[in-house]
A and B are shown apart, each in its own frame.
Chain A
């Protein structure tokens, strides 16, 4: 099973700042099968990025994804108040899915 490790666990930033979230896989992941989700308290996760770098419909362009192999990054160029949430990466392989443990982006 591929293990995804996200870092940092918590990111304390101010609105307007840039957020860089990391997702590292225990073995190589196909870029086509790497996704990022945002989850706010009491809500279901929302798809942000799929295929490592493609934004889902309706997602603001301040969100971008990059990476390949075992290292992937989600970048939020300028944090808006509504962006403070928990972010998860996810990979798919061999009919199995795994999630990272999440990164919480909190207001500093």
Chain B
């Protein structure tokens, strides 16, 4: 079945970077965009950006421009989201999700905690 499996929880200090992975299975990885969405505890969903795994093209929400990089390794069907200059407000669950106009399926989420 189509599935996205993300890497495990991370704890980072302010100013550090985090890189979250999202491994796809059950479909052709290069045929669908991958998006990243985050959710702070008790809050709503916030779209961060998209990546076309075939071309490597990306697009980022203005809020994250200059701080986020989305990449992929097609040989292992894995997408990555790296967020730098972390601050406490970046503490959230980060999701990858497949799709262009709508997202399905979603990864299980990766909790990133930023704390000194």
Contact = CB atoms under 8 A, between A and B. Distances in A.
B19 to A, nearest CB: 20
Nearest to B33: A95
Interface residues of B, number: 21
Interface in A14-54: 32-33, 35, 37, 44-47, 50-51
Interface stretch (B64-72, B79-87, B104-112): B104-112
Interface centre among A44, A90, A95, A102, by most chain B C-beta atoms within 10 angstroms, is A44
Main secondary structure of the interface of A (DSSP, over half): strand
A33 B101 CA distance: 6
Interface stretch (B10-18, B23-31, B39-47): B39-47
A56 interface: yes
Interface string B22-62: 00000000000001010000001111001000000001010
B106 A46 contact: yes
Interface residues of A, number: 22
A85 to B, nearest CB: 13
Interface string A59-91: 000000000000000000000000000001010
A66 B91 CA distance: 35
Contact of A99 (B47, B100, B105): B47
